[in-house]
Every structure is written in C-alpha cells, then in structure tokens.
Structure 1
Amino acid sequence: MIDPLPTLLVEPVIRAALLEDLGRAGDITTMSVVPAEARMRCHLAARQQGRLAGIEVAKATFRLIEPAIHIETLRSDGDPVEAGQPVLLLDGSARAILTAERTALNLASRLSGIATATAAMVAAVRPHKARITCTRKTTPGLRALEKQAIRAGGGLNHRFGLDDAILIKDNHIAIAGGVAVAIERAKQMAGHLVKIEVEVDTIGQLEEAMRVGVDAVLLDNMAPSVLAEAVRMVAGRAITEASGRVSPATVHAIAASGVDLISVGWLTHSAPILDLGLDVLT
C-alpha cells in the first residue's frame, strides 16, 4: 500500500472528469430509470490479474457524488489482484453509485494499467540494480495520478515538471552549440538543490559531459554493449539513466549493462488499462 495523494491534488481532476460526464443535465438515464430512494449494494472487482492503483481516486469519485455512500476497502493501491477478486464494496444510493460508476472505473482502470505494466518491468530487470522510472509523457491533467501509479507498480518518478530539475536534451544542445557549453550555462543558473542531467547519444558526447561534470547522464538509444561501456566510463561519478527502445523484451539486457535507472515513457502514454468492473450484489 502507498500513501494517498493529498485531496487538493486529486479532487480537481475528479471534478473535471465528473463534469465532463454529467454535462448540462446530469445522468438523465439513471434519473429516469432508477427511483430516488433505491439503494444498491455492489462491488468493484478486477476482471484480470494485475497491480492496483487509483483505488483511493475511485472512492473519492463516488463520495463526491454522494458522501454518505458506505465503502469498504478490500484491496489498496499497490496491491496485487487476481481476476475476479473484489477490490471495493459499496452500499448506498443507487443513483449516486451509477452516476459515478464510469468516471471511477475510467480512472482506476487507467491507473491500475500503468501500475501493472510498471510492476512487470520491475520484475523483468531483476536481479540487476537498475530501477524503472517514468517520464513526463503523461496524460495532460493526470500527471500526479499517473506518477503515483508508477510508484504503486514499484517504479520511481522522474521529474514532475520543467521546474524541478534541469534536463538538457538534444535540441537544447543543438541550439546552445554543444554539450559542454549547455552544461556550463545550466550550472550558472542552477540553485544548490537543483540537479543537472544531460542527454547524450554517443560516447564522445558522454566524454565531453564528464569533463565538465553533471549529476546524471541520460544515455539515449544506446545498445546494451555501448551502455556497458558508458557505465564503465562514468565510474560512479554520475547517475546513469538509459532510455529509448525500452520494452519488456529489451529491458533485461539494458539492466544488465549496469545502469542505475531505465526510463520508460510508454508506461504512462500507452500502457493498456487493467479491466475493472462494478457488479451488483443480490
């Protein structure tokens, strides 16, 4: 189980998603079909095996529609889950539960899919020291939730935005006029708590970066043999991060090169959902 995000971060996302679904007139299907006094007892359950995330978000979604809904938590964010296993038990207003159902499932399924994919990648790099981390390739508006889902899957978070670390990439280098000059300019601006990472594509660029000195090097699209050479060259003087062409089929060989981190963008931009559903209990 991982600690839930602060309400201040989560509630605006849920409100926006609910408003998108409710539109201008609310849930006219439920209001027309389900009596106002009807109650409902149901469970939210996994349809397939995976790793959970977004369960607290789902609970908050139901409670934003109706705070009086009773919710019993059976499995939490970060927990493994089997197909058919109940995750939440809900008891309360049928109208409220049905109105919140799709938004809650959309969020929890999306986040659990990210956690499940991350957990698979984390398992694939064992027994090597490399840790799996995410990128800024997140769904607009969902970054805090998706990065928490990475943690639920056992991964690490890369920077959250443009303002919490300096990451000099290929286009920065091209405009600045080279690796060394880009790093030197960054050092002139960076505060004492701001780390500097530079992306390099070749061993030559890495040599230049190490002469100037940086906190971390992003070794982009390098073959495992070149990554191993880069790790030897760095020799612990900076954090080594591999990125590019990382898949379940390639990640173990990348980890075997000795890098500290492996960043994987598709975990947040392309991971399939974990199928979750809501079933009425009789």
Structure 2
Amino acid sequence: MTFSLPGFDLDSFLQTTLAEDMGGGGDITAAAVIPADARFTGVMDSRDAITVAGLPVAEAFFRALDPDVRIERLVQDGDRVAAGTDLMRIAGLARAMLTAERSALNTVQHLSGIATMTRGYVDRILGTGAILLDTRKTIPGLRRLEKYATRMGGATNHRMGLWDAAMIKDNHVAVAGSVEEAVRRAKAAGIERIIVEVDRVDQIEPALAAGATHLLLDNMPPPILRGAVTLIGGRVPTEASGGVRLDTIRAIAETGVTFISVGRLTQSAPAADIGLDFTAVSVASP
C-alpha cells in the first residue's frame, strides 16, 4: 500500500533517515554478526494505550531494505488501541529488518505520541462544538508528518506554513504602524485569509473594521474570551490560543470559540512506548 502526503517526499525521507543512521559504513553490527540469508519474523506492539500513527512509514522503511519483506498491518493509523496490542507483523531478511528497525520505531513512536496527545485534547472538548487546531511549532523537516499525526488524533490542520494565510501579530503591527495598516497591506497584496492576533478586547473592532477574516484571541482567560466571542458575534471565526493545557481546554471551549490552537501537540508530545521483537526463523552458516 502506497503512503502519500501532499508536499511530503517519502522516498527522500527514507533515504535521508537511513543514511543518517548508516553513514558511509552501513550497519556494521548486522553485517558482522548476521548471515546474509538469515530470516526473522517480528511483531511491533504498543506497551501503552495509544492512538496509532506512522505505520505506513514504518512499513516503507522495511521495504526500502528488503523489497520482498512480508508485512501485515494489524491496525490502522488513527485507531485507538489498548496497551499490549500488536500493531504489525513482519517477516523478511534479518539484516534488513535490524537495520531498518530504529528508523521505523522512531517514526511510529514519535507520530503515535503526537496522535495520542491530540486525541486526549479532542476528547476533552467533545460536545462543545470547538475544533482543535495544531500550529507551526513542529520539528524542522517533519511538519507534514507531524501534522498528519495530529489529524490521526482528531485535530484539524491550521496553517501548513507561512504561505497559506496571513497571520498578523504584534510585531507586524509595530512595523506597519497599526492593525488597520497591516491588514490594508495584506489585502493590497491579494491575500484572502487574514488572521489577526488580538490580546485585548479593544483591539477587536479595529481589526474587524480593517478586514480581518479570522481573529486569534491570544492568552485571554475564559471570562474575557466569552465576552470577546459575544462582541464578535459570529462575524468571523474565532481562535483561542496561548497556554492551553489539558486541564484548561474544556473551559476555553465552552466560551463559544470556533477553534482552539495548541502548540504542545507537536512541540511537546512524549513518544509512545512501542517495541519490536524479532524471532529467528532460519539462520544459515556464516
């Protein structure tokens, strides 16, 4: 099964990651210790209750080194599984499987950690109507994969980069001279989506009058947020942002905001505890 993400080059990612691990010398341990025709079977399993993400990429790592490897995915990305669940069965050349193991596990552990944290936040706001967004606080080079993982956890992707919407913050306003001038310049440049960050209620009307199409309500406590949402009155979507935690997100969602953005989904998610145990099925003489 081919794994494809818009804007993500899977082949390049595989090659770069494997090259980082093998350097110019390859896997010297496997080459020295494991006969070339030895075969392994393996089971990847989760030691924690998780939301799964990254299995197709892990599969691609094994196939890159052993095109004839047999792989059976037992669950799918986006599935919620209990601790002790088998995720994938693998059978192929032992050297290839051992060489690809760490790259495959690193990817699944990282992406499943993001998906699992994301699902926890999504669960907290169920029934409120608020939509969870991710941010650009991603590891350089991994944005497409990390934002894929947040989708597997139930979030909606916000901006993929600096190119798909204008986001006017205080530093932009300081240089432009005012919110009105910053928005005017964005509109003059032909930008349709213009997000304006406000951290005080008195900034709302000027931003709307200037032509903001989305308001980011930054670091406002729930009582202030509720008043801001009432003032905006549905004229544009609203987004709560800044310092959102698992223990505070429900109260934020209940203010009526359209979106809540959480940077820690990609910035701070711990890796999921996932392992891969191998069994030798044939070992030839060296």
Superposition TM-score tier, normalisation by shorter sequence = over 0.9
Match of 1:93 in 2: 93
| TM-aligned CA distance change 1:8 to 1:150, over 3 Å | closer
Name the structure 1 match of 2:222.
Answer: 224
Post-superposition shift, 1:42?
A: 0.8
Does 1:73 pair with 2:63?
A: no
Q: For each residue in 1:62-100, what CA deviation from the matched residue of structure 2 results, as whole angstroms up to 9, or x when unmatched?
A: 111111111001011101111111111000001000000
CA distance in 2, matches of 1:6, 1:159: 14
User: CA offset at residue 11 of structure 1?
Assistant: 2.3
Aligned counterparts, 1:37-186, within 5 A: 37-186=37-186
Deviations 1:125-160 (A, max 9, x none): 122011111000100000000000010000000110
Match of 1:262 among 248, 260, 263: 260
Question: Partners in 2 of 1:58 and 1:169 — Cα distance?
Answer: 38
**Cα offset for 1:272?**
0.3
Once the 2 structures are TM-superposed, how far is the Cα of residue 205 of structure 1 from its aligned partner? 1.0
Shift of 1:190: 2.3
TM-score by length of 2: 0.94
1: CA distance, partners of 2:169 / 2:82: 41
Q: 1:273 to 1:204 in 2, by over 3 A?
A: same
- Answer whether contact 1:39 1:93 (CA < 8 A) is retained: yes
Give yes or no for contact 1:13–1:142 (8 Å, CA) kept in 2. Answer: no
- Partner amino acid for 1:203? V
Match of 2:193 among 189, 192, 195: 195
Q: 1:236 matched to which residue of 2? A: 234
Give 1:7 deviation, angstroms.
9.3
Q: Partner of 2:283 in structure 1? A: none
Deviation at 1:6, TM superposition (A): 5.6
Identity of aligned residues (%): 48
Q: Give the number of equivalent residue pairs.
A: 278
CA deviation digits over 1:7-29, x for unaligned, max 9? 96222222211110011100001
RMSD (Å) for aligned C-alpha atoms: 1.4
Do the aligned partners of 1:105 and 1:276 also contact (CA within 8 Å) in 2? yes
* Partner amino acid, structure 2, of 1:28: I
4+ long deviations beyond 2 Å = 3-11
- The SS at the match of 1:139 is coil
Aligned CA distance change for structure 1 residues 245 and 8 (closer, same or farther; 3 Å) = closer
Residues of 1 paired with 2:19 and 2:273: CA distance?
23
Separation in 2, partners of 1:67, 1:229? 59
Aligned to 1:214: 212
The verdict on how the C-alpha distance between 1:252 and 1:277 changes in structure 2, with shifts beyond 3 A counting, is same
Q: d(CA) in 2 for partners of 1:135 and 1:10?
A: 22
Instruction: Output the CA distance in 2 between the equivalents of 1:10 and 1:254.
Output: 37
**Please, which runs of 5 or more residues in structure 2 have no aligned partner?**
281-286
TM superposition score normalised by structure 1: 0.95
Q: CA offset at residue 57 of structure 1?
A: 0.8
Mapping of residues 267-282 of structure 1, within 5 Å: 267-281=265-279
Q: Compare 97-106 and 62-71 and name the one that shifted more.
A: 62-71
Q: 2:139–2:267: 8 Å Cα contact kept in structure 1? A: yes
Query: 2-side partners of 1:171 and 1:252: how far apart?
Result: 30
Equivalent residue letter for 2:123:
A
CA contact 2:49–2:81 (8 Å) conserved in 1: yes
Letter in 1 for 2:102: R
Distance change (3 Å), C-alpha of 1:124 and 1:205: same
1:268–1:30 CA distance, 2 compared to 1 (3 A): same
Alpha-carbon distance change, 7 to 168 in structure 1, aligned in 2, over 3 angstroms:
closer
What secondary structure sits across from 1:199 in the alignment? strand
